[in-house]
Amino acid sequence: MALHPIKSLLDEFKQFINRGNLLVVSIGFVMGSAFTGLVTALVENVIMPLVAIPFGKPNFDGALILRINDAEVRFGAFLTVAVTFVLVAFVLFLLLKVYNRAVAAEVDPLAPVAPTEVALLTEIRDELRARGDTGGAV
């Protein structure tokens, strides 16, 4: 009798695991992690060295340090993280713009648009009216 709740729990877990949404979320999470690595590498290895050109270093960790007694308040380290965040957000923004343009380019603006069901029914009604063949219903 004690096996029934366990079997029920295992069956419910099996249904949960086999749902498509869990698989989609898992794939999205893995792809997001990989994409994070890509964007981080771009910012750290390409963009931040460009920041080093005018400032001499690719980060501000050693700058803007306030020392009071034995405590250090490192404003420069925070500034480095803030600049990195803004740059990552900007890179993601640019990538999204490129992606949206690529997707929009796939849609052929000259391709004929299929009429909707309502448009087809309206066209049929108008054709029947033009023929004078209403059948008493239109």
> What is the mean pLDDT for each group of 10 consecutive residues in the chain (138 residues)?
76 76 77 84 83 75 82 84 83 83 70 76 89 62
Determine, yes or no, domain membership for 138.
no
Claim to verify: residue 90 and residue 52 sit in the same structural domain: no
Structure tokens that stand for 93 in this block: 């923004």
Q: Are residues 80 and 124 in the same domain?
A: yes
Domain count, the chain: 2
d(CA 71, CA 94): 40
Q: Which DSSP category does 19 fall into? A: -
How far apart are the C-alpha atoms of 92 and 32, rounded to whole Å?
Answer: 12
Domain containing 116 equals: 59-133
| H helix or E strand, kind and range, residue 71 | strand 71-74
The answer to whether residues 42 and 12 belong to one domain is yes
Do 81 and 31 reside in the same domain of the chain?
A: no
The model carries a pTM of: 0.47
Instruction: Determine the pLDDT at residue 138.
Output: 46
Nearest to 39 by CA among 88, 93, 96: 88
